Amino acid sequence: MGRASRASGAMRWDLGGRELEALAAEAERFRGESLWQDAWRRLKANRTAWWSLLFLALFGGAALLAPLLPIPSPVHLDLQLEPQPPVPPWELFGESGFEPEYWELSFLDEVLVDLRVAIFGEWQTGPWLGTDGKGRDILSRIVWGSRTSILVALAAALCSLAIGVTYGALAGYLGGRVDNLMMRVVDILYSIPFIFLVIFLITVVNEYRTELEDGYGIDRETVFYVVIGAVYWLTMARVVRGQVLSLRNSEFIEAARVLGASTARILFTHLVPNVLSIVIVYLTLTIPAVMLFEAFLSFLGLGIEPPKVSWGLLAVDGSEMVNPVRIYWWLVVFPAGAMGATLLALNLLGDGLRDALDPKLRGKD
């Protein structure tokens, strides 16, 4: 046991090795957590959000590594009279005859395709989800279509994130007439229907697509990403502006002003990190909306163009094969199921992140 002694009028404890170890273990057990550590712990405790995150990680990994997977080419044609129904893996697990037919791929994708040929050769999976009227494999088209849709959603969401956070934080911090003017601009843009604006911009871009590609190296798909992102930043700006208004007169902001910090430093070093939790939650809810919007535009013929594939183009193919005589259900059920499962997982993850990052619940299990 430790013993107490007096030195210079103060009580002093002499502790043995066991007592020190016990105190260190108790201190370790009650060690404090940061906001992100506490949020991560509570996110893992939320089984629905955690399994949604795992599903999205696996699905996103499969989409990212689509050129490496031993699946048929999504554009390889095998013309036949009608679509072929799904074949279970235990009846036809795989077959030879892989043809590396793709659209113009990036350098990294070409490397992955070459690696896929080196590993698997001509072997490919069977038509586990069936084929469409042109003999194209549905499983392959779903995987490659999810790749395109996810890339569009991420690019557009990051574009809206950059514009919305900067605009909203600046408006909230400056306040006064500047804030009022900036928010009136947002109100004006809100009054314009998004669909008409996007259709107009894409139509204008189509008129000058040759000049953009030859002169600036900007293809139609890149413009499509930017256009969608440029119309989804308005709500993000309002959310960030409201949070910044509640923080602009806080003590740590006043201390930064007194120390001579610039407006940019206060915004991006002190204010934006403190609203990042709200931004992340809203971002997870924006991505599903962007994915649905991309599918809708592709369905109208204004989005991704063949031979590339997206979930919107899969919806077009499925709708063309639905007729009163016979319904080829696999052309509708499997693409819709993949898209619905992804959107559901994103929304469940957004709800879980909202609960995990709520400061009122911090420290509670």
**Per-residue pLDDT at 137 exceeds 80:** yes
pLDDT digits (tens, 9 = 90+) for 263-294: 888 888 888 888 877 888 788 778 888 888 87
**Per-residue pLDDT at 363 exceeds 70:** no
Higher-confidence position of 82 and 47: 47
CA pair distance 289, 280, nearest whole angstrom = 15
Q: In sequence order, what are the residues at sequence separation of 6 or more whose Cβ sits closer than 8 angstroms to the Cβ of residue 278?
A: 239, 240, 243, 357
Q: How confident is the model at residue 51 (pLDDT cuts 50, 70, 90)?
A: very high
Omega prior to 307 cis, within 30 of 0: yes
CA pair distance 53, 219, nearest whole angstrom = 32
**Per-residue pLDDT at 24 exceeds 50:** yes
Q: How confident is the model at residue 8 (pLDDT cuts 50, 70, 90)?
A: very low
pLDDT of amino acid 319: 77
Which of 128, 110, 111 has its CA nearest to residue 72? Answer: 128
SS (H, E, C) 89-141: CCCCCEECCCCCCCCCCCHHHHHHHHHHHHHHCCCEECCCCCECCCCCEHHHH
pLDDT digits (tens, 9 = 90+) for 307-330: 788 888 888 888 777 776 777 888
Higher-confidence position of 25 and 123: 123
Question: Tokens standing for 158?
Answer: 């990051």
CA pair distance 207, 290, nearest whole angstrom = 24
pLDDT of amino acid 115: 92
- The pTM of this model reads 0.78
* Contact indicator for 357, 277 with CB cutoff of 8 Å: yes
pLDDT of amino acid 23: 64
Mean pLDDT of 334-363: 79
Mean pLDDT of 109-126: 89
**Per-residue pLDDT at 27 exceeds 70:** no
pLDDT of amino acid 11: 46
**Per-residue pLDDT at 32 exceeds 70:** no
Higher-confidence position of 17 and 92: 92
pLDDT of amino acid 189: 84
pLDDT digits (tens, 9 = 90+) for 143-189: 998 888 888 888 778 887 888 888 988 888 888 888 899 889 888 88
The burial of 151, by beta-carbon neighbours within 10 Å (0-12 exposed, 13-18 middle, 19 or more buried), is given as middle
**Per-residue pLDDT at 93 exceeds 60:** yes
* Contact indicator for 139, 69 with CB cutoff of 8 Å: no
Mean pLDDT of 214-239: 76
CA pair distance 354, 139, nearest whole angstrom = 33
> Which letter does DSSP use for residue 269 in this model?
I
Domain chopping of the chain, boundaries: 3-31, 37-361
Percent of the chain residues topping a pLDDT of 70: 85
Burial code (b: 16+ CB inside 10 Å, e: under 16) for 52-90 equals bbebbeebeebbeebbbbebbbbbbeeeeeebbebeeee
Consecutive H or E run containing 10: strand 10-14
Question: For residue 119, is it left (φ>0), alpha (ψ between -120 and 50) or beta?
Answer: alpha
The domain defined by 37-361 folds into MetI-like fold (1.10.3720)
